[in-house]
Amino acid sequence: MKRGLKISRLLASLILYVTVRESDADAHTKPHQPTPHQEKDASPTSQGYLRLEQVIQSALQSFPALLAASKRQEMATGEKLAAEGGFDTILKMYSRSSLAGQYQNENVDVGFEQPTEYWGTTFFGGYRRGVGKYPVYEGKSETATEGEVRAGVLIPLWRNRDIDRRRANLAQADLSQIIAGHEYDQQLLELERQASYRYWDWVLAGRRVGIARHLLDVAKARNKGLRDRIHLGDLPAIDATENQRAVVEREERLVAAERALEQSAIQLSLFLRTPEGDTLLPSTEDLPQGFPKAKDHHHRPLEDLIDDALLKRPEIKRIETQIRHAQVESQLVQNQRLPAVDLTISGAQDFGVSQSNLVNRSEFYAGVIIDMPVQQRVAVGKGIAAEANISRLMADRQLAEDRVRNEIRDAVSAIKAAFKRIALADQQRSLARQLEEGEKTKYEFGESHLMLVNLRELASGDASMTYVDALNSYHRALADFRFSSGEYTHISEDGHHHSYRTTDYDFDPTS
């Protein structure tokens, strides 16, 4: 009788062992499954899983913040066109006819003025015709019958020779275009970092769901074996209650994990968009198999990385260009403190028949115009403001450079620490699984308790969670490094061109 009871216990143990092992095998061969209540709103990819590059490319096409930055570039282009308008040709026309009075006459005067960028030189000229009777004091209004043609030039000799308001506006408009380009590149870098964060958090949430579902499946699969052993009298009935408690607890964990996955998918949809700008909600079917394998990064010396980042980061380039913008204003203010000494040369020629001796057929003039404010409070005040603005921007640049240095140091440190964490978490996970298997073996032969088995399984699941957390930290650290080094964006002097690193999707099958 005792021998038959032992055989029955052994058979029941084997049934339980095989059932749990099959559940383990199923959980490992099915890295992710759609949750029953989660519908697939839109599948952004036909490749079986969603890639980070697809998320970034989608965001580049229609992310609102990036579109706003591009509109700032258009604004800068419009401002440059407006600055170029300062050199537009100016036409003026004057016409007068005497309707009553002692002196009946008609006057027409059409003139033009053409400012240029060459030393502030301005050309002018025109045509006028004055016929009829004029009093002596208005004799210059009279021309020959065919009118008078005139032309001249005004050349600044001191103030406005090297720079004036028109040329300053044009130079600043050119710099504003460059500033807008750097702002766009800065927005692009931040977008790619945030998109990477949201993507890897979504992958992490998917792995957490897989782990939670695996733990639940193991507990559910144990139920049949437990009932058989309890029926045979091999186990106390309380073990069924303990296992049911474990099932309920793990169902609660799965619900929480699925909620976290849905939340991360919603956050990722902010960057995953249609060409029209509508958000797309990725489903669990779009999840990759796991995290790409972590690779040890043998970086160049830290100082070399910092030097490269200081050359590439768009916010530093933006501030440097803003300094140049402010220096143009300062140069203009210094120019305004100089006296204006302008040389003017002009000539005129009448055509047709002279009606009186007041008409001078040919005229040629040369003169000097001097203009200088005595107190110069406007120029002095603007000079103080311009120098203060330059000092402020230089302080901003120093702070930005210090921030870049710290971000590079922090990112490199985070990558190294995450890589070490992955190795340690992998060891922890391996040891936890060994303890789990050992505890199950002891329980199958009546040398342990189900509560200890549950604890070992939870510890093994927590170790797996720690492992995928470490992988997530590693990939987030890589995103931080690429952001801090300005690695995603390559900018030329006449614009900005972008190239993207593709992620090495050599998946870690154990993640």
| Residue closest to 423 by CA, chosen among 303, 298, 293, 315 | 293
Type of residue found at 258: E
Tell me the C-alpha distance between 229 and 212, whole Å.
26
Q: What is the DSSP letter of 85?
A: G
Tokens read off for 95: 């016409």
- The DSSP H or E segment spanning 460 is helix 450-485
Would you give the end-to-end CA distance of the chain in angstroms? 49
Tell me the C-alpha distance between 214 and 22, whole Å.
11
Contacts of 71 (CB under 8 A, 6+ apart): none
Compute CA distances 16 → 220, 229, 436, 441, 443, whole Å.
Answer: 11, 9, 15, 10, 10
| Residue closest to 188 by CA, chosen among 314, 377, 28 | 314
Contacts of 161 (CB under 8 A, 6+ apart): 119, 120
Q: Determine what percent of the chain falls in helix, strand and coil, rounding each to the nearest 5.
A: 60, 15, 25
| Residue closest to 422 by CA, chosen among 488, 478, 467 | 467
With contact defined as beta carbons under 8 Å apart, do 456 and 439 qualify? yes
Q: At residue 163, what are phi and psi to the nearest 5 degrees?
A: -155, 150
- Which domains are delineated in the chain? 2-79+168-323+391-498 (1.20.1600.10), 91-167+339-375 (no CATH)
Quick check: helix, strand or coil at residue 144?
A: coil
Tell me the C-alpha distance between 296 and 291, whole Å.
15
Compute CA distances 472 → 21, 383, 463, 503, whole Å.
Answer: 29, 53, 14, 14
What is the C-alpha R_g of the chain? 41
What does the pLDDT profile of the chain (511 residues) look like in tens digits?
333 333 334 333 433 443 444 444 343 333 333 333 333 333 344 457 899 988 988 888 888 888 888 888 889 889 889 988 989 999 999 898 888 778 888 899 999 999 999 999 999 999 998 888 888 777 777 778 888 899 999 999 998 899 999 999 999 999 999 999 999 999 999 999 999 999 999 999 999 999 999 999 999 988 878 877 777 777 788 888 888 899 999 999 999 999 999 999 999 999 998 888 888 899 999 999 889 888 876 667 889 999 999 999 999 999 999 999 999 999 999 998 888 898 999 998 888 777 666 566 788 999 999 988 778 888 889 899 999 999 999 999 999 999 999 999 999 999 999 999 999 999 999 999 999 999 989 888 888 888 898 899 999 999 999 999 999 999 999 999 999 988 764 333 344 444 444 444 455 656 6
Bridge pairing between strands 147-156 and 90-97: unpaired
Tokens 């402020």 identify what position?
Answer: 392
CA atoms in the 13 A half-sphere facing the CB of 405: 8
- In terms of pTM, does the model score above 0.85? no
Tokens read off for 59: 């965001």
Type of residue found at 73: Q
Tell me the C-alpha distance between 306 and 400, whole Å.
12
With contact defined as beta carbons under 8 Å apart, do 313 and 404 qualify? yes
Neighbours of 339 (CB within 10 A): 11
